[in-house]
Structure 1
């Protein structure tokens, strides 16, 4: 990343936008994150985006989307909540940071408009698809065994346990205002995303059916 930044600046690039994350917090603080530090020290006008979990994990990640298709979301996230965000909102913020004035030297935390538990996520998808979708929380060791049976490498299952564990402990259970600050509008709601994806047929079911 440091080499890329220096090459970009040498070639005349004036702005760099880095997609980082709220999740990657280290004990020494964010200034010690090497990719963020490399962009800040590149010589370009930099902007760093730190979003929460993407909505699209539930429709585009093969492991999680496969669970939704099967009617059960299995994670070791307990009853924690996360301000999930639409990746399209992140992309719009990135475009604005690259093409508009006023974003140099800014680090934007990005989130959706509300905190959602995995039970909430399952309910939203169930309403959108007209299918029965449930969330089944597992302890980390049981989740690892489950994921490995589904073909997930054990090392990657360990990484998922770490990420899900951060949800379980509500590490980032706060809303951020980066989308509003950059785009001047509210971020997209998970319910809108779920209805759009359901209508595409990705999750199965007819979509558009209100479950009561």
Structure 2
């Protein structure tokens, strides 16, 4: 077994992304050395360029695996499986996988990791709070109307900071090896309720409107969204958000010993920071 010193880096894939940047920050706060896995890093990492994998992995002691754009896309299982094989061949067994709740394809990737021989932890997450403030939904919120093909379906939205805290703890502490943490927020909200909470906090007239999936698809096509991304978004909105995830879990408290953050607290902090003003650029 390879023995690593405390200053041996932890590789964070997607280290500049929504979860990855927070995992990096948390690990550094805990005193860990971090190697950011991204195409712009000193040692570049690119899911589409397998020749970049081994150099990025070499000399690390653990890996946070966040696959872009989603484990549900065609080919994700095969790509992540090949990456895991590469990591094991290089000599890194400790891996923490970010997975998607209610996604059959993501669960297939989980099973692959479990069977691989890695020292694994799985963080299976529900929809992020930050989807309303840091990605395409932020633009819709700022426009005053969020129009989606989603009905009165409840979702236990979760704060990405909770995900990052769980992932960082798992990367540092071997007590989390072999654990699957299904993480959600503490309450169920539908999209209309979530948007109403944002409107109340900002004092702006922001509304939610359900639209047919065919209309949403047409709008994405008109906006020039690539077809593979359109397929993914429609799958997430019309299949995964069918009510299958309308329950809360204790994954955060199980992993960390404290309850998850509340949506209302996220909304208040985010509104106070000015994220939902028309002048605020959307982070992608």
Bin of the TM-score, shorter chain as denominator length: 0.7 to 0.9
Gaps of 5+ in 2: 1-79, 279-284
Aligned 8 A contact 1:51 1:109 in 2: yes
CA-CA distance at 1:203 after TM superposition: 0.8
Q: Deviations over 1:185-206 (max 9, x none)?
A: 111111111111112212117x
Match of 1:45 among 76, 101, 119: 119
Match of 1:21 among 83, 97, 100: 100
Q: Show the counterpart of 1:131.
A: 204
Aligned 8 A contact 1:83 1:114 in 2: yes
CA-CA distance at 1:121 after TM superposition: 0.7
Within-5 A mapping of 1:88-167: 88-166=161-239
Q: Show the counterpart of 1:208.
A: none
Q: 1:86 to 1:188 in 2, by over 3 A?
A: same
CA distance in 1: counterparts of 2:223 and 2:86, whole angstroms: 42
Q: Show the counterpart of 2:132.
A: 58
CA distance in 1: counterparts of 2:225 and 2:264, whole angstroms: 29
Greater RCO (Cα-Cα under 8 Å, separation 6 or more):
1
Runs of 4 or more, structure 1, over 4 Å off, are none
CA distance in 1: counterparts of 2:174 and 2:230, whole angstroms: 41
Q: 1:139 to 1:116 in 2, by over 3 A?
A: same
TM-score, length-scaled by structure 1: 0.85
How many residues were matched structurally?
199
CA distance in 2: counterparts of 1:167 and 1:16, whole angstroms: 26
Gaps of 5+ in 1: 206-212
